[in-house]
Structures are given as structure tokens and as C-alpha cells.
Structure 1
Amino acid sequence: MKRLFVALVMCFALVGFPAQAGAHQVETFYTLDNQLEFQSVFSTGEPFAGATVTIYAPNQPDAAWKKTTTDSEGRFSFLPDESIPGNWEIAIEDSNNLSHADYWTVPVGDKGIIYDGIVLDSTEDVHYRAATALLPMVVSIGGALAWLGFTRRRR
């Protein structure tokens, strides 16, 4: 019984009281002048330099219309082809492992970019991928501890 108690305390110490996360989110700002200019920075203020930027046109959502990278200040700019109306999708992603990313939708209408319609696609937060990846481990540990507890009671 003492072993089970120690195992449960260790499990809760590892899973229930995690250390402070060192992750930081990507924040993106945009302006419209001659082109649409985006700047992505981390929540710490550090530029999201060297991020891969993929732009998808509404008429070919599965093929990249343009690929580029952010500069040393986390900036990139582009001008959508106004002859292709619809929602232009922009993916700003960490080129190494997708642990940081921002996804934007830029609507283009008959008169050009609909500035007030530009939105952040917040359907997926890449920071929560790690949490769902831990679920099988937590369930496995819980199952093993429960099995250990039941087998110990029979003896």
C-alpha cells in the first residue's frame, strides 16, 4: 500500500504540478498601405524572424500562391491579386517544427482588400498540441496504478 501511495504522489507531482512553461505565443499585426504588411512577434517582443509564410489564393486553396519568409524584424508584405476575389489564407509558421504559428484570412472583394474583414484564424492553437499528446501517457499511468492497487488488495 505504501508503494501505491508513493507512486500516486510521484504521478501527481509530475503531471499535476508542472513547472512554469517557457512557451510564448505569436502575435501578428498588420497595416495596409501600397501592400498589406504583417509583422509577427513573440509575446516577449522578440521578432518572429525567419518564419515561413505561405499564402493561398481562394481559387487554389491547396497550392501555395506565394511562399516567403519573415525578415529580421518579423515582417513580410504582399498584395493579393484583386482579380481573384474570396478569402486569401496566410500561414506564418516556424520553419523548424510548427510549435509557433499564426493563421490569417484576408478577404478580397470587388473593390480590393476588405480591411475590416481581415481575421486571425483561431481554430487551432498549436500550444495545446502537447497537452493532447500527454493524454495517452496519463491514462496509461493511471491504468497501471489502478491495476497495481487491485492486484495488491488480492494478496
Structure 2
Amino acid sequence: MPALPRFALMSMTALAIGLGQVQSVSAHGVESTLRYLDGQLELNSSFSTGEPVEGAVVRILEADGTAGAELGRIDASGRLQVNLPDLSDGQVDLQVDGGPGHRDYLTLPLEQGRVNLDDVVRAPLPFDAFPWAVAPAMVGTVGLMVRVRR
């Protein structure tokens, strides 16, 4: 086998092995629950381990997704009670920001100036995990195709 194709095959094999040997990282997401009564919103946020997200900033997001008005910070018990400002009907996006990789996004539907908790929506992950999961298989398939063609 000539040197260049052999080098390419070895490189792809090494890449596939390297992708397959990635150390698993154990991240914990932020989980939030809401209670709303007479204009006062109570937000409880904790990591998936149950530990409160103490000090996390809770803010309203602007329509373009940028940070808007800060409503407050999560206390040591994982709670924030806040009176929502006067907001027009529609949807308001809240962000619980516990630092990079530790955020929760909630969409609050407003009807007649009140939050309708039955329609609260959690935002999806900002990335699609499926392409990353199949990447090693794709690299291996390309390596096999190069080998079979010879």
C-alpha cells in the first residue's frame, strides 16, 4: 500500500479511536420549578444533584435572546421570590444563570398580565447531540471505504 493512503487510513483510525476514548464528563443541569400567586413568582432552582443553585442570576431575556432586566439572585435555599414587572400579554423568557453550562431557560406565557403556569415551556438544549454521537461511526465508515477500494 502506498505511503499516502496508508498515512490517511492510520490518521482516520487514530482519530476514530481518539473520539471513542473521550473521557466521560459528568455535568449537572439546572432544574427549576415555579409557583405564581397574585403577581408574585416563586422560583426554586437546583442542580440535578439537588444542590441549590445559590447566587444564580435570574433575568428576563430580550426578544433577540440578549440579557435583559435582572430580577434577582437565587438564595442559599435555592429560592427567589419576585414580583414581576408589568408586562404585556405574550411570552416572557426567563434565564436562570448559574454560570457557563449551568443555565435553565423558561418561557412564561402571560394572559391579562398574569402568568399561566399550565403553559410554561422549558427551552430545548441549544445543540443537537445526535451528530456528535454518530461522528465516530462516520469516521470508521470512511476508513473502511478507503480500505475496501484498494
TM-score > 0.5 by shorter chain: yes
Structure 2 equivalent of residue 49 of structure 1: 54
Q: In structure 1, what is the Cα distance between the partners aligned to 2:77 and 2:31?
A: 13
Cα displacement (A) at 1:44: 1.2
Structure 2: state its 5+ residue gaps: none
Cα displacement (A) at 1:84: 2.5
CA contact (8 A) 1:49 1:72 kept: yes
Cα displacement (A) at 1:71: 1.1
Cα displacement (A) at 1:80: 2.3
Which string of whole-angstrom CA distances, capped at 9 and with x for unpartnered residues, describes residues 11-53 of structure 1?
A: 3332113222221111111122352111111111111111121
CA contact (8 A) 2:57 2:70 kept: no
Q: Secondary structure at the match of 1:15?
A: helix
The answer on 1:87 being equivalent to 2:91 is: yes
Q: Secondary structure at the match of 2:17?
A: helix
Q: Secondary structure at the match of 2:15?
A: helix
**Correspondence for 1:117 among 119, 122, 129:** 119
Q: 1:4 to 1:38 in 2, by over 3 A?
A: same
TM-score, scaled relative to structure 2: 0.65
Over aligned residue pairs, what C-alpha RMSD do you find? 3.7
Q: In structure 1, what is the Cα distance between the partners aligned to 2:23 and 2:61?
A: 39
Q: In structure 1, what is the Cα distance between the partners aligned to 2:29 and 2:110?
A: 28
Structure 1: state its 5+ residue gaps: 150-155
Q: Percent of aligned positions with the same letter in both sequences?
A: 24
CA contact (8 A) 1:56 1:66 kept: no
Cα displacement (A) at 1:63: 6.5
Letter in 2 for 1:17: Q
Q: 1:4 to 1:124 in 2, by over 3 A?
A: closer
CA contact (8 A) 1:55 1:89 kept: yes
Structure 2 equivalent of residue 108 of structure 1: 110
Count residues with an aligned counterpart. Answer: 134
The answer on 1:40 being equivalent to 2:45 is: yes
Structure 2 equivalent of residue 153 of structure 1: none
Letter in 2 for 1:64: G
Structure 2 equivalent of residue 16 of structure 1: 20
